[in-house]
Amino acid sequence: MARCHGQVSAHVVFIRPLETDKDWTQTDLWRRVSTIPGVTLHRDDDGVESRRFDSETSGTTVLYGTDGTLLFHGGITISRGHSGDNPGRSALVEILEHRLSNSVTTPVFGCPLFNSQCPSEGTACK
Protein backbone atom coordinates (compact mmCIF):
# COMPACT_ATOMS: atom_id res chain seq x y z
CA MET A 1 0.00 0.00 0.00
CA ALA A 2 2.89 2.37 0.70
CA ARG A 3 4.27 1.94 -2.82
CA CYS A 4 0.89 2.29 -4.54
CA HIS A 5 -0.64 4.95 -2.28
CA GLY A 6 -3.65 6.58 -3.93
CA GLN A 7 -3.65 4.17 -6.89
CA VAL A 8 -5.83 1.48 -5.39
CA SER A 9 -8.79 1.08 -3.09
CA ALA A 10 -7.89 -1.88 -0.87
CA HIS A 11 -10.41 -4.06 0.93
CA VAL A 12 -9.28 -6.75 3.35
CA VAL A 13 -11.81 -9.45 4.09
CA PHE A 14 -11.93 -11.50 7.28
CA ILE A 15 -14.16 -14.55 7.12
CA ARG A 16 -16.35 -15.28 10.12
CA PRO A 17 -17.76 -18.81 10.30
CA LEU A 18 -21.46 -18.69 11.15
CA GLU A 19 -21.05 -20.74 14.33
CA THR A 20 -18.76 -18.09 15.87
CA ASP A 21 -19.54 -14.90 17.77
CA LYS A 22 -20.02 -11.70 15.76
CA ASP A 23 -16.76 -10.28 17.16
CA TRP A 24 -14.73 -13.41 16.26
CA THR A 25 -12.79 -11.49 13.58
CA GLN A 26 -11.76 -8.73 15.99
CA THR A 27 -8.21 -10.03 16.47
CA ASP A 28 -4.76 -8.49 16.73
CA LEU A 29 -4.43 -9.00 12.96
CA TRP A 30 -7.69 -7.07 12.37
CA ARG A 31 -6.38 -4.23 14.54
CA ARG A 32 -2.98 -4.17 12.75
CA VAL A 33 -4.60 -4.13 9.31
CA SER A 34 -6.96 -1.35 10.42
CA THR A 35 -3.94 0.95 10.85
CA ILE A 36 -2.83 0.65 7.20
CA PRO A 37 -3.80 3.85 5.37
CA GLY A 38 -6.19 3.29 2.47
CA VAL A 39 -7.44 -0.13 3.64
CA THR A 40 -11.09 -0.87 4.40
CA LEU A 41 -11.85 -3.96 6.50
CA HIS A 42 -14.84 -6.23 6.01
CA ARG A 43 -16.30 -9.11 7.98
CA ASP A 44 -17.48 -11.81 5.59
CA ASP A 45 -20.11 -13.92 7.34
CA ASP A 46 -19.77 -17.57 6.24
CA GLY A 47 -17.40 -16.59 3.41
CA VAL A 48 -20.16 -15.50 1.03
CA GLU A 49 -18.11 -12.70 -0.55
CA SER A 50 -14.89 -14.72 -0.55
CA ARG A 51 -16.57 -17.47 -2.55
CA ARG A 52 -18.05 -14.88 -4.93
CA PHE A 53 -14.52 -13.69 -5.75
CA ASP A 54 -13.11 -17.24 -6.00
CA SER A 55 -10.98 -16.74 -2.91
CA GLU A 56 -10.64 -20.25 -1.54
CA THR A 57 -7.23 -19.81 0.13
CA SER A 58 -6.05 -17.36 2.77
CA GLY A 59 -3.89 -14.70 1.20
CA THR A 60 -5.77 -14.56 -2.10
CA THR A 61 -5.51 -11.13 -3.70
CA VAL A 62 -7.70 -9.84 -6.52
CA LEU A 63 -7.41 -6.61 -8.47
CA TYR A 64 -10.11 -5.20 -10.71
CA GLY A 65 -9.80 -2.28 -13.10
CA THR A 66 -12.15 0.67 -12.87
CA ASP A 67 -14.16 -0.95 -15.68
CA GLY A 68 -14.65 -4.16 -13.65
CA THR A 69 -12.09 -6.20 -15.59
CA LEU A 70 -10.19 -8.76 -13.51
CA LEU A 71 -6.52 -7.76 -13.74
CA PHE A 72 -4.92 -9.95 -11.08
CA HIS A 73 -5.90 -13.05 -9.12
CA GLY A 74 -3.42 -14.85 -6.93
CA GLY A 75 -0.92 -14.57 -4.16
CA ILE A 76 1.44 -11.75 -3.34
CA THR A 77 3.84 -13.87 -1.29
CA ILE A 78 6.23 -16.55 -2.53
CA SER A 79 5.43 -18.87 0.39
CA ARG A 80 3.24 -18.99 3.46
CA GLY A 81 4.17 -16.20 5.85
CA HIS A 82 6.72 -14.68 3.48
CA SER A 83 7.16 -10.95 3.21
CA GLY A 84 9.06 -9.11 0.51
CA ASP A 85 9.63 -9.21 -3.22
CA ASN A 86 8.03 -12.00 -5.26
CA PRO A 87 6.41 -12.46 -8.69
CA GLY A 88 2.85 -11.79 -7.49
CA ARG A 89 3.68 -8.57 -5.72
CA SER A 90 5.83 -7.41 -8.65
CA ALA A 91 3.03 -8.12 -11.14
CA LEU A 92 0.50 -6.27 -9.00
CA VAL A 93 2.73 -3.19 -8.79
CA GLU A 94 3.42 -3.31 -12.54
CA ILE A 95 -0.31 -3.46 -13.27
CA LEU A 96 -0.95 -0.48 -10.99
CA GLU A 97 1.87 1.46 -12.61
CA HIS A 98 0.44 0.62 -16.06
CA ARG A 99 3.56 -1.28 -17.10
CA LEU A 100 1.72 -4.58 -17.49
CA SER A 101 -1.57 -4.83 -19.34
CA ASN A 102 -2.24 -8.58 -19.33
CA SER A 103 -4.35 -10.25 -16.68
CA VAL A 104 -2.07 -12.12 -14.27
CA THR A 105 -2.62 -15.22 -12.15
CA THR A 106 -0.10 -16.40 -9.56
CA PRO A 107 -0.14 -19.26 -7.03
CA VAL A 108 -1.59 -18.54 -3.60
CA PHE A 109 0.25 -19.85 -0.55
CA GLY A 110 -2.01 -20.04 2.45
CA CYS A 111 -4.51 -22.27 4.13
CA PRO A 112 -7.79 -23.49 2.65
CA LEU A 113 -10.66 -21.28 3.81
CA PHE A 114 -13.47 -23.78 3.35
CA ASN A 115 -14.03 -27.46 4.16
CA SER A 116 -10.55 -27.97 5.52
CA GLN A 117 -8.25 -27.16 8.38
CA CYS A 118 -4.88 -25.49 8.19
CA PRO A 119 -2.04 -27.84 9.11
CA SER A 120 -0.41 -27.62 12.51
CA GLU A 121 1.89 -24.70 13.28
CA GLY A 122 5.30 -25.04 11.72
CA THR A 123 4.08 -26.85 8.62
CA ALA A 124 3.43 -25.28 5.26
CA CYS A 125 0.20 -25.40 3.31
CA LYS A 126 -0.35 -24.16 -0.21
pLDDT tens track for 65-96: 989 999 999 998 876 666 667 888 889 888 98
Q: How far apart are CA 26 and CA 48, in angstroms?
A: 18
Q: Are 126 and 80 in contact (CB under 8 A)?
A: yes
Where along the chain do its domains lie? 1-52, 57-126
Q: What is the pTM of this model?
A: 0.79
Q: Judge whether residue 113 has pLDDT over 80.
A: yes
